[in-house]
Amino acid sequence: MVLIGITPELDMHNNCYKLNQSYVEAILTSGGTPVIVPITSDIKQILSILANLRGIVLSGGGDPDPFYFGEEPLQTSGPINPFRDQFELGLAKEALALQMPILGICRGCQIMNIAAGGSIYQDITHISNLQHTQMAPRWYPTHYISIEAGTRLFNIIQDNKIRVNSMHHQAIAKVAPDFAVSAISSDSIIEAIESNNGKAIGVQWHPEELLDTHGKKLFAYLVRESEKTV
């Protein structure tokens, strides 16, 4: 089975990793072998890790440092994790260059877009009144998204309107070159992007919490694409 790396959160206060088990279950039940990728900024180590992986899940987490897309931090920007930022941006850049299959989830979608030269909104509550930081449980879909016909995402989900969960206060602003928007919410916030070669998919929602419905399709796609790259 193909090895799929999942990036963890680094808890800086306790100096330990954190990862929601749902990400692991999502890969396990999709026929891949999940491994948690250790956090390092050493690019030689990152390349060595990538040489042993066939696909990547960039997991959710806190806000990326706006420095990386050329902005000063706003009052409403969240806590920054310099170690995780440097590691994931390096990993994403190298994985994109290798055309490795990537599924970017929430923060992971934003990291991928920044790594590829795009930017994000530091706080979408300034531009939208739709509840993107839902009060419902994580596994419960709360808002609709429209999926663009003809995109890879549409191919995967096979539906043009679905309900998703929403646990984000940031979103894609400038879409990176070589990427396109594949889904938006009713307030026109970008909810999904994909690379033009179809290898990298980024979603703003959390499919690992929606495995009983359309969430599973994204992980199955990642595993299928990863098997092709062996």
Q: Which residue is nearest to Mn ion (CB)?
A: 166
- Catalytic hit among 132, 143, 168, 206: 206
Q: What share of the chain is helix, strand, coil (3-state, %, to 5)?
A: 30, 25, 45
CB of 179 to Mn ion, least distance (A): 18
- Of 39 and 112, the one with the shorter C-beta distance to Mn ion is 112
DSSP assignments along 16-81, one per residue: EEE--HHHHHHHHTTT-EEEEPPP---HHHHHHHHHT-SEEEE---SPPPGGGGT-PPPTT-----
- Of 87 and 205, the one with the shorter C-beta distance to Mn ion is 205
Choosing from 77, 166, 182, 226, the residue that interacts with Mn ion (CB under 5 A) is 166
Contact flag: residue 30 with Mn ion (CB under 5 A): no
> Is residue 109 annotated as a catalytic residue, yes or no?
no
CA distance 46 to 44: 5
> Is residue 13 annotated as a catalytic residue, yes or no?
no
Choosing from 54, 84, 107, 132, the residue that interacts with Mn ion (CB under 5 A) is 132
- Residues found in the chain: 230
Please give the positions annotated as active site.
106, 206, 208
Site of interaction with Mn ion (CB under 5 A): 132, 166
